[in-house]
């Protein structure tokens, strides 16, 4: 599975922009990998799912909407850290 840390470092190489901490990157990896594993375990067919960050992102957005907006059990940054522009 892709590693968000490598992608974040590459995209920030030539930039003085804010970056995510290692802990925040680990949280992103944990959330994305957990969603992918859930989708794989729920898939009733014998065909394995391929890693698709667009699909994972859509599921992540739905989960965030419930945890952050509906249930209000966490904030967006704690659920899935990001760099504010």
The answer as to whether 82 is a domain residue is: yes
User: pLDDT by residue (tens digit) across 13-67?
Assistant: 444 568 999 999 999 999 999 999 999 999 999 999 999 999 999 999 999 999 9
Report the C-alpha gap between 75 and 67 in whole angstroms: 8
| Contact by Cβ (8 Å): 83, 19 | yes
* Full residue range of the structural domain in which residue 71 is found: 50-85
- Residue 42: its pLDDT value, please? 97
Task: Identify whether the C-beta of residue 28 lies closer than 8 Å to the C-beta of residue 20.
Answer: yes
CA nearest to 79, candidates 62, 14, 50? 62
**Residue 84 within a domain:** yes
| Assigned domain for 56 exists | yes
Does residue 65 fall inside a structural domain?
yes
Specify the DSSP element, H or E, that contains 35.
helix 22-42
Question: What total of structural domains would you count in the chain?
Answer: 1
| pLDDT tier, 4 (very low <50, low <70, confident <90, very high otherwise) | low
Q: Looking at the domain assignment, is residue 66 inside a domain?
A: yes
Does residue 13 form part of some domain? no
Please tell me the pTM assigned to this model. 0.78
């Amino acid at each position: 599975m892709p590693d968000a840390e490598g992608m974040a470092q590459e995209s920030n190489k030539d930039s003085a922009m804010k970056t995510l901490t290692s802990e925040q990157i680990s949280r992103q990896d944990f959330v994305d990998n957990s969603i992918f594993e859930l989708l794989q375990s729920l898939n009733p067919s014998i065909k394995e799912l391929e890693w698709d960050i667009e699909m994972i992102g859509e599921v992540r957005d739905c989960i965030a909407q419930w945890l952050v907006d509906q249930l209000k059990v966490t904030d967006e940054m704690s659920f899935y850290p990001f760099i504010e522009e």
